Amino acid sequence: MGAAAAPHPSRSILEIDLRAIVANWRALGARLAQGATCAGVVKADAYGLGAAQVAPALAQAGCTEFFVAHLEEALALRPLLPETAYLHVLNGCLPGEEQIFVAAGLVPVLNDPGQVASWTAQARRLGHPLPAALHLDTGMSRLGLTPREAQTLAAQGEASAPIDLRLVMSHLARAEEACAMNGEQLARFAVLRARWPAARASLANSSGIFLGAPFHFDLARPGAALYGINPVPGRPNPQLAVVRLTAPVLQIRDIAPPETIGYGATFQAPAAMRVATLACGYADGWPRSLSSSGTVHHEGLSLPILGRVSMDTIVVDATAAPGLRVGNRVELLGSTIGVDQVADAAGTNGYEVLTRLGRRFSRVYAAA
């Protein structure tokens, strides 16, 4: 946390462990087949945890390949990374953005033949090759050249020469499942990437790494698993937890039937009970779908959420914690209940839980 002032007692605190992120990156790299390297995906502000902190920590640990989604994310990050680091923009380079990419030294992920043509033209104008990654769609129907477009482009050969094609990539649709589609995408990618033998190839996201060596190619692109999300759902999480969220108790009260809690009066006290109000609500990214479901933790005790999640607060059953006091901190996310468990209870995935964690928290980083 360095010299930053201590957060006010009334503020929720999000602790982000950069050491754990770096350890997770190293552990993923150690799983890769011989010769493959590990990138860091830091889009969406490093899945909500702070790209300005996460990316330099990874660079310090030896990561040289980074991916963001938006041009704006890349422009903000570029000055914080070593000049030798490659910063790829997954959403591609739209018409008119070419000069911005060149000036900032960014690598566009070219997603369609039009982008390839514009980037090629830009390189011709400048008279020197420009680096690029080429995205081939093998089953997402989201971004990237279709197999037919890829074959046409490969057949042109010479026409794309001004591009320094450093990477050919594709993305798996169902990497976290054991299913035939992974093998099908792998087979399609293997055929297509062979048209650009000089370019490095990249297919695996976090879960893809765990599908085995044939999926590793030259570069893996993990995001989620860096941040502690389980890349192998249904099996024990091999990654370290990265975040801890604690919220202070704002008020404690005793209620009895027929009193109710919160908007909609959706919870009515069935008996005399103690309840505690915590400073965290849906405006902080705490899923509203956790209304009357999910739990928070205090000194080994599990305290159920009662009634609706409000904008700024939630109410929990503190009957089992008679020692709980105003100002005490209760754990919403951490080692007892992880990102994936909160996501399960909320009916979403860990990616959404992390990327929504709000701006009102006091963010405390444990240095790498």
Cα-trace Rg, the chain: 24
Task: Give the nearer residue to ligand PLP in terms of CB position, either 46 or 324.
Answer: 46
Cβ neighbors of 112 (< 8 A, separation 6 or more) are 92, 144, 145, 149
Residue 253 DSSP SS3: strand
CA distance 171 to 139: 8
Taking a C-beta distance cutoff of 8 angstroms, is the pair 263, 57 a contact?
no
What are residue 331's DSSP bridge partners? 246, 297
- Token reading at 31: 């799983």
Task: Give the nearer residue to ligand PLP in terms of CB position, either 248 or 350.
Answer: 350
For residue 267, how far is the Cα from the chain centroid? 34
CB atoms within 10 A of CB 106: 22
- β-pair type (295-298, 362-366): unpaired
Query: Minimal distance in Å, beta carbon 225 to ligand PLP?
Result: 6
Task: Give the nearer residue to ligand PLP in terms of CB position, either 43 or 297.
Answer: 43
Query: Minimal distance in Å, beta carbon 63 to ligand PLP?
Result: 14
Query: Minimal distance in Å, beta carbon 75 to ligand PLP?
Result: 19
Query: Minimal distance in Å, beta carbon 226 to ligand PLP?
Result: 8
Q: Which residue is nearest to ligand PLP (CB)?
A: 223
CB atoms within 10 A of CB 210: 17
CA distance 217 to 168: 10
Task: Give the nearer residue to ligand PLP in terms of CB position, either 222 or 287.
Answer: 222
Taking a C-beta distance cutoff of 8 angstroms, is the pair 86, 66 a contact?
yes
Query: Minimal distance in Å, beta carbon 233 to ligand PLP?
Result: 11
Contact positions toward ligand PLP, by CB under 6 A? Answer: 41, 43, 90, 171, 205-206, 221-225
Task: Give the nearer residue to ligand PLP in terms of CB position, either 242 or 330.
Answer: 242
**Active-site residue list:** 43, 263
CA distance 99 to 78: 15
